[in-house]
Homo-oligomer: A and B are copies of this chain.
Amino acid sequence: MTGGMGCAVVTAGPGTTNTTTGIANAFRAESPMLLIGGQAALSQHKMGGLQDLAHVDMMRPITKFATSVPSTERIADFVAMAAREAFNGSFGPSYLEIPRDVLDFKVDLAKAVIPKPGAYRASTKSIGDPAGIEALADLIVHAKKPAILLGQQVWTCRGSEIAREFVEKLNIPTYMNGAGRGTLGPDHPLNFQLTRRDAFGEADLTIIVGTPFDFRLGYGKSVRSKTVVQIDMSYATVGKNRDISLGLVGDVGAILAAVQQATTGRGDNGAAARKEWVASLRAKEDAAVAARMPKLLNDANPIHPYRLAYEIDQFLGDDSIFVGDGGDVVTFAGNVVRPKGPGLWMDPGPLGTLGVGTGFAMAAKLANPNKEVVALFGDGSFAMTGFDMQTAIRFKLPYIAIIGNNSYMNQIRYGQIQKYGPERGNVGNYLGDINFEKFADMLDIHGEAVRDPKEIGPALRRARASGTCAIVNVWLDPNAYAPGTENQTMYK
């Protein structure tokens, strides 16, 4: 949210293990952060201290760097080391364990190693091999049917504006995912969403920016162009899972800027063909949007999740930050809700973590006090971390919590019913029918329940008007499943 390194400080033992889900999420989502955790005194190492655990060994698999700090003098030195590692290649979390005595001991400031800001690490704004810049510039100006996917790293590198200028100058149909969403606004003529399958199949050049060939791209099989270019912050990610025609490693914004500059004066053979290509894709996209619209406007009762997603999309303001935390309900939203600009979309990323919403919402508000924060939860997700809403209230970080409440863990339930039959699938995933608006009562904030689709919009506006944290508990049809859930290969 800030572009800088987040920092959390926790106690030893359960204080640290309670963070593993968040750290693992940051690891796979490539969020730069530093976790500092406690430990029993170094002088009592391996003696069975209170909350003594081998934290460093636990953290190593989910961080880019994890170590224990052996002396008070070097605490700042280790913080600098942890930061270097957090920003090395694709970003991620670092972990420092500081034993109690190392933390409490006092040392002469003159003996402490204290790196100066700006002097302890290099710039991350690498463009990689200049030859790759030239090669991509050449490919683009000759491309007749290019397509581009802008992934999370576009936002991580704060390259959103550069990316927009890039696709505008070269007129490239643009798809976005994860935190890359919003790079182009909902009405931007190059913003495409529903035609990705077609585009990545017919394109003569597909450029994948800042997102790996992981399960979200069929491990690379979803991209069927003859020429595939990958741009990523991590050397190890480029060429992983499928062959590429060209790979560029570095800051994805810096690279796009350099490529754009390199196209200048190179002619643009493909310009006319690209214009046609954009128009033909736009026609398909418009058709797909129109075909889906009745689902979004569905006014059935109980409320269909598509309708909730549609109402949220309509509700979001130009500056609203949308947080998605859930399974099936959020999958619907992922297809429908469109952030209005860059940096306005937060989802857990490839770890698919439930329960991130409460923390994400607080972080979003803390970093952007003038923006509205709207978080969509499933009922299962909300219950995981919802009690922390009291923290948001205490620190005056209001957000609107919309709970898409279908009383089940539907994303799991669907597959378990397929595999094990309805009885086991239902029993194991039922969560009860919780009146979350009464949770709002407990916290003395605005809350209400919605059962009528027409009431969603008004309820959201009342929540907005309350000025505090607010809970809108929207009861949904428990028997609606997102298409993504029905198509999951894991149940086949």
Contact = CB atoms under 8 A, between A and B. Distances in A.
Interface residues of A, number: 112
A240 to B, nearest CB: 7
B49 A215 contact: yes
A1 interface: no
Nearest to A230: B122
A170 interface: no
A60 interface: yes
Contacts of A236: 81, 84-85, 88
A468 interface: no
B13 A352 contact: yes
Nearest to A412: B11
B394 A383 contact: no
Contacts of A130: 127, 258
A360 to B, nearest CB: 14
A247 B118 CA distance: 10
B84 A122 contact: no
A76 to B, nearest CB: 11
Contacts of A57: 57, 60-61
Interface string A421-454: 0000000001110111011011110000000000
A315 interface: no
A163 B48 CA distance: 25
A29 B132 CA distance: 28
A247 B47 contact: no
A77 to B, nearest CB: 8
B241 A47 contact: yes
Contacts of A18: 21, 355
B352 A50 contact: yes
Interface string A155-169: 000000000000000
Nearest to A419: B104
A23 to B, nearest CB: 8
Given A128-B123, A436-B442, A14 B351 contact: yes
Contacts of A53: 24, 27-28, 61-62, 351
Contacts of A412: 11
A258 B127 CA distance: 13
Contacts of A87: 235
A213 interface: yes
A201 B478 CA distance: 61
Q: Count the copies.
A: 4
Interface string A246-277: 01111100100010000000000000000000
Contacts of A100: 490
Contact of A122 (B17, B43, B247, B436): B247
Interface in A48-75: 48-55, 57-58, 60-62, 67, 70-71, 74
B239 A120 contact: yes
Contact of A54 (B61, B230, B434): B61
Given A436-B442, A438-B441, A122 B129 contact: yes
A243 B430 CA distance: 40
A342 interface: no
A189 to B, nearest CB: 32
Given A129-B127, A131-B125, A235-B87, A390 B432 contact: yes
Interface of A: 11, 13-14, 17-18, 20-21, 24-25, 27-28, 40, 42-55, 57-58, 60-62, 67, 70-71, 74, 78, 80-81, 84-85, 87-89, 100, 104, 115-116, 119-132, 212-215, 219, 230, 234-236, 238-241, 243-245, 247-251, 254, 258, 350-355, 383-384, 386-388, 390, 393-394, 412, 430-432, 434-436, 438-439, 441-444, 490
Given A14-B352, A124-B235, A435-B444, 9 more contacts: A28-B52, A47-B240, A48-B215, A51-B352, A122-B247, A123-B131, A383-B387, A390-B431, A442-B442
